[in-house]
């Protein structure tokens, strides 16, 4: 057994670890090590000195056959050498060191899914009758004190169980295949008490095989035959393939809890756990199960805690007001103390249960034949697979959209006033803002309320669209209020309107903030003010329908400072800052003087901020219609404020992904309001039908 300088080896391994490329993904790997090579021939056995066929040749012959057998599998195969002329260093000590550097370098970052197999043939120093097959793996705990003087790689110390499993597969499979060729081939057993350098320094489960004794004349003849080599390679290949045919169960820290041969056993075990586990299919190299999480949310403040059983989550939530429990994988709300159960599921006229989440109820209904999903209290059928039973409860969806933002605004106007302004209407005013940029018109929503729910139309910044002029005419307007300067709505548009006999008023300033203050002056004495960023549109747009409904104003500010001219507009008012510090800084908040009350509504993003607004002002929202627009752009949502006033409806802004807090608001909203309609402002490129369907299911 070779003794080497342990600290020298460690230093070299650390250096080469950082120099080597690292595998960053899991894949099944086998590193085949044909022992010896080059100037290190291994044993030349009984006749090798005469024939030139020594151990290094026999090792490589079997290794090449093994690699070929695994070629069409999904196991990636590396070989430490592929030539009999290959060695790794000038001395045998350094040769072993460098050999293992090469082997370990193949599998950096993928240790758990890799195997090391060193192929050797044996020799007895004094006897020519010793023969047979034996297998070795490294187990530090089984080493004698003398063997423990040869320190292993620290990684290998923790791999004794895996190396032992691999050794048993290798030994039994290979011996079985050899005996198909040579009956009575001697079984010399599996050993774990030898500290061979290669298996104790492999950073993966490792096995060394001694396929037979070349010092035995008869066994050497067998070893040299192609059939023996092929059978041995087949046995080794089968062992490698079967090693991966298992299912491993891990906890959240990737500690292995159990290993199973059958998927069903692994899944059954995993599903009984009360902590997080995942099941890893080692053969297919994929996770086939992860424990479901049950997340407890506060309706306003978001995630409170996670649990791995539903009951634990519910027990925690019961002690808190306004909480809900969400099953993480499905997104189903399985329990809440602020959302009322609304649905019953029947199968064969038998009640299966009551549910507060439509999607959850639907999943239960679809799992049964002759089932139906109904509304608690009314018995209206929302979904059924019973022949002849009609659906009687539907939330209608209407889309208000044109081919561009200007025509979408017109469609919204037509929805509010399908027959134009009523002759008796005192205010026959239209608000006209630019459709090019958001800044000037962000605070126009409350102005629409002042002018008797005036529709908001959009203009190009070069001319007045003929379609917009036609809509103003259709409405029977007698006044147009233009928002912004000539760069926003051009002078020629104003001229066209005046020439047609309309009264025209322009509200503008030298920049967006001055224009905003001019709008506030026009509004007069409001009871409250939303303070929002003038650099982005999302927060002000989310507040606009609420401001319009309540008769509040919207004041725009820079993120880090607020104009001294703006402060008087907040004096004596309730001020609600919309958005987090990144939108309106605490410095701005600290600059506010004279307000009767200051609060902030904010979330991690624009949709979370919207949820905060909806919850805070839920008592002001009672309409049976819900408005939906995109939160990704401003024009469609901008023109929806008058529609929100018209319907008394909440405006929901949607993005690329679902917002669970907004959805939970909608579900709670239907505790007291029967929503019959969803009106979508904008085309399918802004909000697709799937997004709308997701929202309507929360309102049924």
Domain ranges in the chain are 6-243, 247-290, 295-394, 399-697
Averaged pLDDT, 254-281 = 93
Hunting for tokens 């086998």 — which residue is that? 30
Helix (H, G, I), strand (E, B) or coil at 234: helix
Task: Decide which of 190 and 271 is more confident.
Answer: 190
Share of the chain above pLDDT 90, in %: 85
Query: 151-178 b/e with 16+ CB inside 10 Å = b?
Result: bbbeebeebbebbbbbbbbbbbbbbebb
Residues 483-507: what's their mean pLDDT? 95
**Which conformational region is residue 184 in: left (phi greater than 0), alpha (psi within -120 to 50 degrees), or beta?**
left
Encoded tokens for 235:
């046995």
pLDDT of residue 441: 77
561 Cβ contact partners less than 8 Å away, ≥ 6 residues apart: 587, 588, 591
The pLDDT score that the predictor gives to residue 19 is: 34
- pLDDT band at residue 471 under the 50/70/90 scheme: very high
> Does 12 score more than 60 pLDDT?
no
pLDDT band of 288, cuts 50, 70, 90: very high
Indicate whether 14 pLDDT > 80.
no
**For the whole model, what pTM was predicted?**
0.68
**pLDDT of 18:** 33
**How are beta strands 286-290 and 187-191 bridged, if at all?**
unpaired
Tens-place pLDDT, residues 227-241:
999 999 999 999 999
**pLDDT bucket at 433, cuts 50 / 70 / 90:** very high
Overall size of the chain counted in residues: 700
Kindly give, in sequence order, each residue whose CB lies less than 8 Å from that of residue 570, ignoring residues fewer than 6 positions away. 529, 531, 555, 592, 593, 594, 595
Please say if the pLDDT value at position 453 is more than 90: yes
Look up residue 637 and give its two tokens. Answer: 């949502």
Mean pLDDT value across the chain: 92
DSSP β-bridge partners for residue 481: 431, 505
Per-residue pLDDT, averaged over 575-587, amounts to 96
Closest CA relative to residue 152, chosen from 1, 33, 9, 31? 9
Rg (CA), the chain: 38
pLDDT in tens, 92-117: 999 999 999 999 999 999 999 999 99
How many angstroms separate the CA atoms of 168 and 611, rounded? 60
User: Which whole number is the average pLDDT over 336-349?
Assistant: 95
Q: What's the rounded Cα separation, in Å, for the pair 293 and 173?
A: 42
Query: Which residue, 1, 7, 66, is CA-closest to 32?
Result: 66
Q: How far apart are CA 438 and CA 638, in angstroms?
A: 8
Instruction: Kindly state the average pLDDT of the residues 673-697.
Output: 93
> Quick check: 318 pLDDT over 60?
yes
Give residue 418's pLDDT: 97
Q: What is the pLDDT of residue 274?
A: 82
Tell me how far apart the alpha carbons of residues 59 and 486 are, in angstroms, rounded to a whole number.
87
Instruction: Supply the DSSP string of 430-443, one letter for each residue.
Output: EEEEESS-STTTTT
Q: How many CA atoms are closer than 13 Å to the CA of 644, on its beta-carbon side? A: 32
Q: How far apart are CA 261 and CA 242, in angstroms?
A: 10
Task: Flag whether pLDDT at 630 surpasses 80.
Answer: yes
Q: What CATH number belongs to 6-243? A: 3.40.630.40
Rounded to whole angstroms, the Cα distance separating 666 from 627 reads: 11
* Listed residue (460, 603, 595) closest to 538, CA to CA: 603
Q: If pLDDT is split at 50, 70 and 90, which confidence band does 314 have?
A: very high
pLDDT at position 25, please?
A: 54
* % residues pLDDT > 70 (the chain): 96
- Residues 698 and 339: their CA atoms lie apart, in Å, by 11
Please list, residue by residue across 33-52, b when 16 or more beta carbons sit within 10 angstroms of its beta carbon and e when fewer do: bbbbbeebbbbbbbebeeee
Q: In three state form, how does the secondary structure of 166-199 look?
A: HHHHHHHHHHHHHHHHCCCCCEEEEECCCCCHHH
């Amino acid at each position: 057994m070779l003794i080497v300088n342990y600290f020298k080896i460690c230093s070299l391994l650390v250096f080469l670890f950082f120099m080597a490329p690292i595998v960053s993904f899991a894949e099944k790997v086998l590193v085949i090590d044909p022992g010896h090579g080059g100037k290190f021939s291994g044993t030349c056995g009984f006749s090798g000195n005469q024939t030139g066929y020594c151990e290094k040749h026999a090792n490589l012959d079997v290794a090449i056959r093994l690699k070929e057998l695994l070629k069409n599998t999904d196991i990636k195969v590396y070989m430490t050498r592929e030539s009999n002329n290959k060695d790794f260093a000038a001395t045998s000590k350094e040769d072993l060191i460098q050999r293992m550097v090469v082997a370990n370098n193949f599998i950096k970052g993928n240790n758990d899914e890799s195997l090391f197999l060193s192929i050797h043939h044996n020799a007895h120093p004094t006897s020519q009758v010793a023969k047979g097959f034996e297998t070795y793996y490294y187990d530090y705990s089984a080493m004698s004190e003398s063997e423990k003087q040869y320190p292993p790689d620290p990684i290998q110390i923790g791999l004794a169980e895996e190396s032992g499993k691999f050794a048993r597969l290798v030994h039994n499979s290979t011996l079985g295949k050899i005996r198909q060729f040579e009956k009575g081939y001697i079984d010399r057993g599996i050993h774990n008490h030898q500290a061979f350098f290669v298996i104790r320094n492999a950073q993966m489960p490792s096995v060394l095989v001694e396929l037979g004794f070349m010092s035995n004349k008869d066994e050497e003849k067998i070893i040299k035959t192609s059939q023996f080599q092929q059978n041995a390679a087949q046995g080794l290949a089968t062992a490698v393939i079967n090693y991966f045919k298992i299912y491993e169960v891990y906890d959240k820290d990737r500690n292995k809890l159990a290993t199973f041969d059958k998927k069903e056993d692994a899944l059954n075990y995993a599903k009984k756990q009360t902590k997080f586990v995942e099941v890893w299919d080692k053969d297919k190299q994929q996770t086939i199960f992860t424990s479901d999480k049950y997340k407890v949310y506060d309706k306003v403040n978001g995630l409170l805690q996670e649990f791995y059983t539903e009951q634990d989550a519910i027990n925690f939530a019961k002690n808190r007001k306004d909480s809900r429990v969400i099953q993480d994988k499905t997104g189903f709300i399985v329990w809440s103390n602020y959302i009322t159960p609304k649905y019953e599921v029947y199968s064969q006229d038998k009640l299966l249960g009551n549910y507060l989440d439509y999607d959850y109820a639907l999943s239960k209904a679809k799992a049964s034949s002759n089932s139906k999903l109904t509304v608690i209290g009314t018995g209206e059928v929302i979904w059924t697979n019973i022949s002849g039973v009609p659906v009687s409860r539907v939330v209608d969806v209407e889309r208000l959209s044109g081919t561009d933002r200007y025509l979408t605004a017109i469609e919204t106007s037509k929805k509010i006033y399908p027959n134009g302004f009523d002759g008796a209407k005192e205010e026959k005013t239209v608000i006209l803002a630019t459709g090019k940029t958001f800044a000037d018109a962000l605070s126009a929503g409350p102005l629409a309320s002042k002018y008797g729910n005036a529709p908001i139309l959009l203009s190009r910044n070069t001319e007045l669209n003929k379609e917009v002029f036609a809509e103003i005419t259709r409405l029977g307007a007698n006044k147009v209020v233009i928002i912004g300067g000539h760069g926003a709505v051009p002078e020629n548009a104003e001229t066209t309107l005046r020439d047609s006999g309309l009264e025209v008023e322009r509200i503008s300033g030298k920049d967006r903030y001055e224009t905003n203050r001019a709008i506030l002056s026009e509004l007069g004495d409001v009871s409250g003010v939303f303070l929002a960023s003038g650099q982005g549109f999302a927060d002000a747009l989310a507040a606009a329908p609420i401001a319009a409904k309540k008769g509040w104003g919207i004041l725009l500010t820079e993120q880090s400072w607020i104009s001294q001219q703006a402060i008087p507009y907040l004096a004596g008012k309730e001020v609600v800052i919309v958005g987090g510090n990144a939108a309106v800084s605490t410095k701005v908040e600290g600059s506010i003087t004279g307000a009767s009350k200051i609060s902030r509504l904010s979330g991690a993003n624009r949709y979370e901020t919207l949820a905060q607004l909806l919850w805070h002002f839920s008592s002001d929202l009672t309409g049976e219609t819900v408005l939906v627009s995109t939160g990704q752009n401003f024009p469609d949502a901008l023109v929806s404020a008058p529609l929100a006033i018209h319907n008394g409806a909440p405006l929901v802004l949607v993005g690329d992904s679902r917002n669970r807090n907004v959805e939970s608001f909608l579900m709670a909203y239907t505790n007291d309001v029967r929503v019959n309609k969803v009106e979508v402002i904008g085309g399918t490129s802004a909000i697709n039908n799937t997004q709308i369907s997701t929202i309507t299911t929360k309102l049924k």
